Amino acid sequence: MRTGNMRQQAGRCGWHRAGCMMVMGATLLVGGCASSAESQPAGRSGLPIGVMEPQRVLSETDAGKKAMESLASFAKSRQALVESEEKELRRMEEDFMKQASVLSATAKKEREEQFRRRMAEYQQRANQMNREVQEKQKEILEGFRGKIEKVVARLAQQMGLAMVVEKGRGSPTVYHEASLDITTKVIEEFNKGGQ
């Protein structure tokens, strides 16, 4: 079993190495073809690149703040509906507990069944509301990402950059020189109405 795991890991390392070699080859190819202007940020390889943090653009631009406020408002309205149903379920449960001692066995069973049905409906609605919020979030963030990409493309062309990579949590960028970061310029362009 251990030998199988080692082969599997070795196979993954081979693919990883091949991927790294392809990226390095593409970097050298693009770097060799790119013109070098002194105003361009360039990595040590001479390739004019920029780094941008989308989360910062989202949180520091007027458009990003509006997008997040819209999402928060939508989520809050859905949460209010869920909480309203939750209160109704609690009220039903409390009423049942108060009346349980005077109800007949048939009436108890009927009320318990009614409560179970309402609980199942509540759970379905809560799940639906959660899906709606997730879909709205995806819609808003994808729309905003499209705007970011337009601004970044325009800035990259103006600055003579061959490539702009993302930084932030979950991105492939682990380290970069501070001079490569164009996030502040993207935010300024966004706030000027450049989207």
- pLDDT at site 41: 53
**When comparing pLDDT for 142 and 170, which is higher?**
142
State yes or no: pLDDT of 131 exceeds 90. Answer: yes
- pLDDT at site 45: 57
State yes or no: pLDDT of 112 exceeds 80. Answer: yes
The DSSP symbol for 39 reads T
**How much is the average pLDDT of 139-161?**
92
**Alpha-carbon gap, residue 40 to 42, rounded angstroms:** 6
CA dihedral 75, 77, 79, 85 (to 10 degrees): -150
**How much is the average pLDDT of 33-46?**
47
What is the residue-averaged pLDDT of the chain? Answer: 78
Write down the pTM of the prediction: 0.62
State yes or no: pLDDT of 51 exceeds 80. Answer: yes
State yes or no: pLDDT of 123 exceeds 70. Answer: yes
Percent of the chain scored above 90 by pLDDT? 50
Q: What is the DSSP string of 87-153?
A: HHHHHHHHHHHHHTTTS-HHHHHHHHHHHHHHHHHHHHHHHHHHHHHHHHHHHHHHHHHHHHHHHHH
